[in-house]
Structure 1
Amino acid sequence: MGKAISIIAASLLLCLCAGENAGARTVEDSGHIVLRLMGDSTMADKDLSKENPERGWGQRLPSHLDSCVTVVNYAQNGRSTKSFIDRGLWDKVKSDLKAGEYLFIQFGHNDSKESDPERYAPAYGLYTENLRMFVEYALSAGARPVIFSPVSRRWFDGDGNLDRNCHGDYPEAARKVASEYGIPFIDANAITQEWLVSIGDEASRKYYMWIPEGTCPRHPDGLEDNTHTNVAGARKLVELLLPAITGVIPGLASHVRDYDFVVAKDGSGDFFTVQEAVDAAPDYCKQDQTVIFIKDGIYREKLTVPSNKQKLHLIGESASGTVISWDDYALRPGSTGYPMGTSATSTAFLHADDFLAENITFENTAGEGKEIGQACAVTVDGDRVAFIGCRFVGNQDTVYCFGPGQRQYFRNCHIEGTTDFIFGFATAYFDACTIVSKKDSYITAAATPRGMKYGFVFRDCVLKSDGKASRVYLGRPWRPFAKTVFIGCRMDGHILAEGWHNWGKPDAEKTSFYAEYGSCGDGASGDRAGWAHFLRERDLDEYTPEAVLGPRDAERKATTSPETVEWYFKVF
């Protein structure tokens, strides 16, 4: 939101709230907040069939709030205060409303339709009577009503002047009811009018249901609708109204989320797929991250983050609920008819530098077996890539740490697979992760390039079996100079006493480096392979995340914009 609009919204709120203490009711920041919404089509959830781009602002609101806030939207298309009652919707609200909850009330668009007796409610007659009834019931139930005036219609004349009287007496009638009861009033009509005037007729069309002919299956003949908003418009309305809403509900402010894009399968975000959001991110971003929030859902897509989409930050709503899933596998015929091979199987290809993912599951559901072969969940090719609280689910070759020498950090992640399910050329650090073996096989297959000081480092991790695996090696060398180190890890009894396997390459025993320090658990007992190493306490300073993944000489010497890499080293 522009600074000018923010000031306008704040000043209108101060002027129009009923009394100095109209918004004094607060909730504990740590408590759960429930917002129940009742209104018309400008607030309502929309049917998403036939690629319908229409959205109500109430449909969008949950994407701007964290999980401590529940939004329940009762608004429906075409409803006035009268028809909302007559259709039984008010009875539903009454049966659900509880003490301490907030009730947002916004009507007026349809109450003014004099030609429709089923909906018409005069501003200073039935409309105000119904608003009073809503408010009195809410107060008697211990709830906290908030009245909104209707959002403005986008009615410009031929000279580009906005009709500021598009709702007649209804905004003022709503304000007076709020004043009578000393409850908060948010003048959505005035707030949205100021915004429309500031950007004008032409620029505002992109936020409304102005659809060219032949571009939308829902409206094949096109549409020019100056009342209802599209995806971008609903987001804009929420951004305009939130300062006023948090002004009357101060405890809500700490739960507002600020994301560049939201992905949601239910239509409450900017996009339906993660790929669409990635594609919309700016290219070669050098300063601020582009933050993409992904709501819970199973996103069946093959995701690619190209190298030009730098500094992306993907945040899932929950690690188990936000799932990016695909099912390619190495032996599946590709476009040429030949097997596609390991490198093409990933559910997610992450080629960009400075990529951060939190609370997301990346999975490959191809299964495993001779007819399947390798099937990667992620291929990570970027430098300074981090995963926090993510889950990686697959079988053979789950996590491909591909980029030679590229730095990759995994913290509090869950990684599961069967054979070589953490493999590749990169310098990767696994911090406090859970590693689950699903088959008698090998966990790691490092391919550390010659001359690289570090390969894979596991610190404070837990190595577990899914119950089926009972004979598992810590790793084997995919390439002769493989490096893998386990520090302070708990290993269950499925880990074999010898620990390491040479992959039938005796020479690799001399060139690879496999080591441990402070392993514990049943899998840490017994004699390790004779060519394995054990670190000493004095070696540990060389295996911290900062030492393994920290700034390289070129980054330390950077004088132009060191902040471009600084974020990564704060992740540790």
Structure 2
Amino acid sequence: MQIGISKKWMGVLLLALCAFALPPKQKIRLWMIGDSTMANKQPKAYPETGWGMALGQFFDETVEVHNHAQNGRSTLSFINEKRWQAVLDSMQEGDYVFIEFGHNDEKIDKPGVGVTPADYGINLSRFVQEARAKKAIPVLLTPIMRRSYKEGVLFDSHGAYPPVVRRVADSLRVPLIDMHLKSEALINGMGEEGAKKLFNYVEPGDKNYPNGKKDDTHFSVFGATAMAELAVQGMKELKLDLVKRLVKKKYDFVVAKDGSGQFSTVQEAINAVPDMRKSETVIFIKNGVYKEKLVLAESKNMVTLIGESTDSTIITNDDYAGKKNILGEPMGTSGSSGFYIYGKDFTASNITFQNSAGPVGQAVAVFVAGDRARFNNCRFLGFQDTLYTYGIESRQYYNHCYIEGTVDFIFGSSTAVFDYCTLYCKKGGYITAASTPQQKPYGYVFRHCTITGSAGAGTYLLGRPWRPYARTVFLECNIGNQVKAAGWDNWGKAENEKTAYYAEFRNTGEGAATAQRVAWSHQLTDAEAKLYSLSNIFGDWVVENAN
């Protein structure tokens, strides 16, 4: 019996070891050459978006997208400007190259750009043959339809050029994605008016287009994503090896400073979220430092921001209370925030929110007013007044977050739970300054948190009441020696001792000794501690327990 069991588990172990020994997927590079319909765009062109900007989100991390498409280029000008040679020099065996031209080739009257259909075919053939000489895999794409109508019927403005791409693909046995036919079907399906949302239609008064814009060639963010989805559909039909690297589209928008997303700033992506949308909008933010002053409007609900990595996806601003605004007035504490969150059901994960103004007084990193705000694995960096939990009716949940500061670095009126968070004390002061409304049964609840920092021993208190009915509770937390033995402060008003509610339960660490705590604070019983469950605190808002 023992021998049989041993053999069984040895087999399981060998299988497990084999699984761990599998080599990682080799990375694939996807080169894109083409014109403005595919190209990366500058922020000043927003909302115009090339469909190549939206393609990367459909692949896993093993696919690198290198978009070399350029506005205004044809097959001829792309070659003459040595753009093709630059791509070719970098190309390696096994790489893919997607080739889509036509919009500018058909401009016969434009010297150095337009070419005849015959020369267009010759140039496409050159791209294919030279890519194959580098043992790369070329894929031809027909030009995408313009939204051109004559008497209510979609009109093909490309004429003889799309058939040339098909003939080259057939004669050279090149994979073909017929974006022309696919986009024609999409536009026809949406109708003449409905298809406007695919293209760069902008109302007058826009920052980048003061006089408005009616563009039936270039895409909106929505349109670029729709065209990228058509390209993905084509890859699946061709059964390209790239298909193995596809993932279900996880994000609605991608922000990247290098232009590889639909947006290069976070605020542009937030602005693109449809007002009063009834479904979640997920925005992925690639690594980078984004110096912006963000506003998530009340009309932008169910918005989720996901950073690529907590340490390297950084949203920062350096305003502070004493800094003058454009009218020469002090900004004040609220005006200093780098991010204002008013929309409901907001979520952020893997992002650092920073106010880099330094020790200059109140300088808020994040101001949260909307209800049901959730932060997972985020960092909040600053000095005084780092995190402003502003909304009286706002419920907020912080899971495995890092929050640092000096004086009152977590403050405000909201009901907020902090699970498994690190509170880092930088110099000396107060960790919390709650202003809980009298009618609210819960204010700040810290569960399983760690209090640490560079501050000296006995230089901090757990909290002081910004308003008389402040409520703050620490349960099963590890409290460092930064916290004074008294634990709590009445903000210089003895009457606050009768109204504020400060309590602790089974805390540990050098700063957790209860013998010298102020007499008006509380030590909870087991029964009282059980009242601080997420369901009791948040009511009908269902939040999963942290772990």
TM-score higher than 0.5:
yes
1:437 to partner: Cα distance? 1.5
Partner of 1:397: 385
Paired residues of 2:58 and 2:246 also in contact (CA < 8 A) = no
Say if 1:519 and 1:92 are closer, same or farther in 2 by CA, change over 3 A: farther
Say if 1:174 and 1:200 are closer, same or farther in 2 by CA, change over 3 A: farther
Matches of 1:320 and 1:111, distance apart in 2: 45
Partner of 1:236: 226
1:36 to partner: Cα distance? 1.9
1:176-255 aligned at under 5 Å gives the runs 176-177=170-171, 180=173, 184-201=175-192, 204=195, 207-208=198-199, 227-229=217-219, 231-247=221-237, 248=239, 249-254=242-247
Paired residues of 1:351 and 1:380 also in contact (CA < 8 A) = yes
Matches of 2:96 and 2:84, distance apart in 1: 15
Instruction: Kindly provide the amino acid, as one letter, of the partner of residue 172 in structure 1.
Output: R
Which string of whole-angstrom CA distances, capped at 9 and with x for unpartnered residues, describes residues 94-134 of structure 1? 44334454332334455666676787473796246424414
**Residues matched between the structures, number:** 518
Paired residues of 2:431 and 2:463 also in contact (CA < 8 A) = yes
1:214 to partner: Cα distance? 10
Paired residues of 2:430 and 2:462 also in contact (CA < 8 A) = yes
- State percent identity of aligned pairs: 41
The correspondence for 1:106, drawn from 76, 87, 100, is 100
1:145 to partner: Cα distance? 3.8
Paired residues of 2:457 and 2:484 also in contact (CA < 8 A) = no
Which string of whole-angstrom CA distances, capped at 9 and with x for unpartnered residues, describes residues 406-435 of structure 1? 321011222111101111222210112221
1:309-458 aligned at under 5 Å gives the runs 309-332=300-323, 339-369=330-360, 373-404=361-392, 406-450=394-438, 452-458=440-446
Say if 1:212 and 1:539 are closer, same or farther in 2 by CA, change over 3 A: closer
Paired residues of 1:39 and 1:105 also in contact (CA < 8 A) = yes
Instruction: Kindly provide the amino acid, as one letter, of the partner of residue 478 in structure 2.
Output: R
Larger CA deviation: 67-76 vs 83-92: 83-92
Instruction: Kindly provide the amino acid, as one letter, of the partner of residue 250 in structure 1.
Output: V
Larger CA deviation: 488-497 vs 59-68: 59-68
Partner of 1:6: none
Is residue 569 from structure 1 mapped to residue 543 from structure 2 by the alignment?
yes
Instruction: Kindly provide the amino acid, as one letter, of the partner of residue 544 in structure 1.
Output: S
Secondary structure, counterpart of 1:196 in structure 2: helix
Matches of 2:38 and 2:299, distance apart in 1: 37
Larger CA deviation: 407-416 vs 497-506: 497-506
Paired residues of 1:246 and 1:252 also in contact (CA < 8 A) = no
Partner of 2:163: 169
What are structure 1's unaligned runs of at least 5 residues?
1-26, 552-564
Give TM-score scaled by structure 2 length. Answer: 0.79
Matches of 1:496 and 1:31, distance apart in 2: 55
Is residue 160 from structure 1 mapped to residue 131 from structure 2 by the alignment?
no
Matches of 2:213 and 2:468, distance apart in 1: 64
Matches of 1:538 and 1:488, distance apart in 2: 14
Partner of 2:86: 92
Say if 1:230 and 1:378 are closer, same or farther in 2 by CA, change over 3 A: closer
1:189 to partner: Cα distance? 1.7
1:297 to partner: Cα distance? 4.8
Larger CA deviation: 429-438 vs 234-243: 234-243
Larger CA deviation: 401-410 vs 210-219: 210-219
1:398-547 aligned at under 5 Å gives the runs 398-404=386-392, 406-450=394-438, 452-466=440-454, 471-524=459-512, 527-531=515-519, 532-547=521-536
Instruction: Kindly provide the amino acid, as one letter, of the partner of residue 39 in structure 1.
Output: G
Matches of 1:290 and 1:545, distance apart in 2: 25
Matches of 1:345 and 1:323, distance apart in 2: 17
Q: Over the residues paired in the alignment, what is the CA RMSD in angstroms? A: 4.0
Is residue 303 from structure 1 mapped to residue 277 from structure 2 by the alignment?
no
Instruction: Kindly provide the amino acid, as one letter, of the partner of residue 198 in structure 1.
Output: G
The correspondence for 1:74, drawn from 43, 68, 72, is 68
Secondary structure, counterpart of 2:153 in structure 1: coil
Larger CA deviation: 422-431 vs 191-200: 191-200
Larger CA deviation: 188-197 vs 146-155: 146-155
Larger CA deviation: 445-454 vs 104-113: 104-113
Is residue 550 from structure 1 mapped to residue 546 from structure 2 by the alignment?
no
1:282 to partner: Cα distance? 4.7
Matches of 2:414 and 2:244, distance apart in 1: 45
Secondary structure, counterpart of 2:502 in structure 1: strand
Partner of 1:36: 31
Where relative contact order (Cα < 8 A, 6+ residues apart) is larger, the structure is 1
What are structure 2's unaligned runs of at least 5 residues?
1-21
Matches of 2:224 and 2:524, distance apart in 1: 58
1:328 to partner: Cα distance? 3.6
Is residue 136 from structure 1 mapped to residue 110 from structure 2 by the alignment?
no
Say if 1:52 and 1:456 are closer, same or farther in 2 by CA, change over 3 A: closer
1:335 to partner: Cα distance? 7.7
Secondary structure, counterpart of 2:228 in structure 1: helix
Paired residues of 1:517 and 1:536 also in contact (CA < 8 A) = yes
Matches of 2:441 and 2:49, distance apart in 1: 53
